[in-house]
Amino acid sequence: ARYSAVFLREFIEYLARETDAERIHIVGYSAGTRLVATALHQLALASGHRDAAETRRSLRLGNVILVGSDVDRGIFGTYMLDGLLDVQERITIYESPKDKALGIALFTFRNERVGQLDPDDLTAEAKSFLLRSDALSLVSVADAPDFDHGNGHSYFRDSPWVSTDLLATLRYRLRPADRGLVQDAASGIWEFPPDYLERVEAAIFAADPELARPAAEARAADRPSE
């Protein structure tokens, strides 16, 4: 992953320079998040002479999503100190307390992983930052159905709620609150409420009226006649 990061960085720079893409989104999974995080760190270092707004305008990076992230927390923290959050519009990191693959990584390397976070691990400063930050969102999947299916590492596929949330982020660029998640006032971590499906459906239909119309017609057709 470290070896390949330079090529991902160059590919992102190429897309931003040579195409008319409005936004470039990136999804990293498991060990692939090391590749993504390292490439973004390189972009942050290369853009250190510019302010955040200019960097984002130049690179056109939209949403970066890290799922089951097997990145050392300490290393990720140093990336943030070097300006990682200035490179893209927003980073969303999904967290699971029952990701067994990351549990094995923790046991093997003895270093906490980004994708497996306990709210008690957060300092008061970190919680305050999450509560006011629009650039970084931590999303706990602990209340999403089937998040712990199998070894708990593929919840973005196994849990319909998580996959819906991820796709709503990419398709409509909705912020966590706008797509139905609720932020814990103590930790700053976003969570899935019991009525998440109703919330996200309303959010998607508001963002995409063309999708709402056939859905309403289908419901009317299924409604029993009086």
The string of pLDDT tens digits covering residues 188-199 is 999 999 999 999
Helix ranges, 1-51 (H): 2-18, 32-46
User: pLDDT band at 224, cuts 50/70/90?
Assistant: low
Backbone angles phi, psi at 132, to 5 degrees: -110, -5
Tens-place pLDDT, residues 63-121: 999 999 889 888 999 999 999 999 999 999 999 888 766 666 555 555 678 878 778 88
- State the residue for tokens 């320079």: 17
Helices (H), the chain: 2-18, 32-46, 52-59, 73-81, 100-109, 124-132, 155-158, 160-172, 196-207, 209-222
**Which segments of 35-80 are extended strands (E)?**
61-67
- Over residues 133-137, mean pLDDT: 95
Which pLDDT belongs to residue 73? 87
Q: In this structure, what token pair is assigned to residue 168?
A: 């709503």
**Per-residue model confidence (pLDDT) at position 159:** 95
Amino acid of residue 46: A
Q: What is the pLDDT of residue 117?
A: 79
Residue 19 pLDDT class (50, 70, 90 cuts): very high
Residue 225's pLDDT is 59
Q: What is the pLDDT of residue 219?
A: 78
Supply the pLDDT for residue 218.
Answer: 81
**Cα gap 169→159, rounded to integer Å:** 16
Query: Measured between alpha carbons, how far is 64 from 72 in angstroms, rounded to an integer?
Result: 18
Give the pLDDT band of residue 6 (cuts 50, 70, 90). Answer: very high
